Amino acid sequence: MMRNSRIRRVPMALSALAALAFSVMPLPAVLDPFRPDLLVLVVFYWSIESPRAGGLALAFFGGLALDVIRGVVLGQHALALTLMAAWATNLRLRLRVFSVLSQSLTIFTLLTGYQFVLFWVDGATGNPVTAYSRWAAPVIGGLLWPLVAGVLSRNHDR
């Protein structure tokens, strides 16, 4: 068990790094507001797949890296990601037996929670973003979930 979780640290870190890169990759301005939170999906995946391999640590430090790269207040994404990863870890046994549709819906709820924490911290620190399009990311993330989870489960070593 412990050996397994140690082996999977590498794909975990690699996938998180790729998702981090995607979060600041230049996209056409039209698509920009609809960029899915890929890092969150990756963290959810690892929280559900191997909760003992340090999903929460990944969530916290991944979120912190996102804060630094995006230049927002330190701890914003770290807080949101930690809370939602903990929730996902808590739901993992149910999530594993859900159908794809129910999984997507659950992930959508978690992503909305994530977005809400970000929204709240934005407001509390005095620069609220009230554009409605920020709530599009959870929808797209929920739709992308089967794809992301499929790609990740195919590629990490078994």
CA dist 84 and 157 (Å) reads 26
Q: In b/e form, how buried is each residue of 97-112, taking b as 16+ CB within 10 angstroms? A: eeeeeebbebbbebbb
Q: Which of 48, 50, 24, 51 is nearest to 35 (CA)?
A: 24
Residue in 6, 135, 143, 150 binding other proteins, rule: CB under 8 A: 150
| Residue 58 interacts with other proteins (CB under 8 A): yes or no | no
Q: Which residue has the tokens 């039209």?
A: 30
Count of positions on this chain that bind other proteins (CB under 8 A): 59
Q: Which of 125, 137, 133 is nearest to 40 (CA)?
A: 137
Contact range with other proteins by CB under 8 A, out of 36-44, 89-97, 108-116: 89-97
In the complex, minimum distance from the CB of residue 142 to other proteins, in angstroms, rounded to a whole number? 13
Residue in 50, 106, 112, 115 binding other proteins, rule: CB under 8 A: 50
| Residue 155 interacts with other proteins (CB under 8 A): yes or no | no
Question: Is 89 within 8 Å of 51 (Cβ atoms)?
Answer: yes
Residue in 10, 14, 129, 143 binding other proteins, rule: CB under 8 A: 129
* Residue closer to other proteins (CB basis): 56 or 109: 56
* Residue closer to other proteins (CB basis): 75 or 109: 75
* Residue 29 φ then ψ, to 5°: -60, -30
- Helix ranges restricted to H, 9-54: 9-24, 38-49
Residues that bind other proteins (CB under 8 A): 1, 4, 17, 20-21, 24-27, 29, 32-33, 35, 48-52, 56-57, 59-60, 63-65, 68-76, 78-79, 82-83, 86, 89-90, 93, 95-96, 100, 103, 121, 124-127, 129, 131, 133-134, 146, 149-150, 153
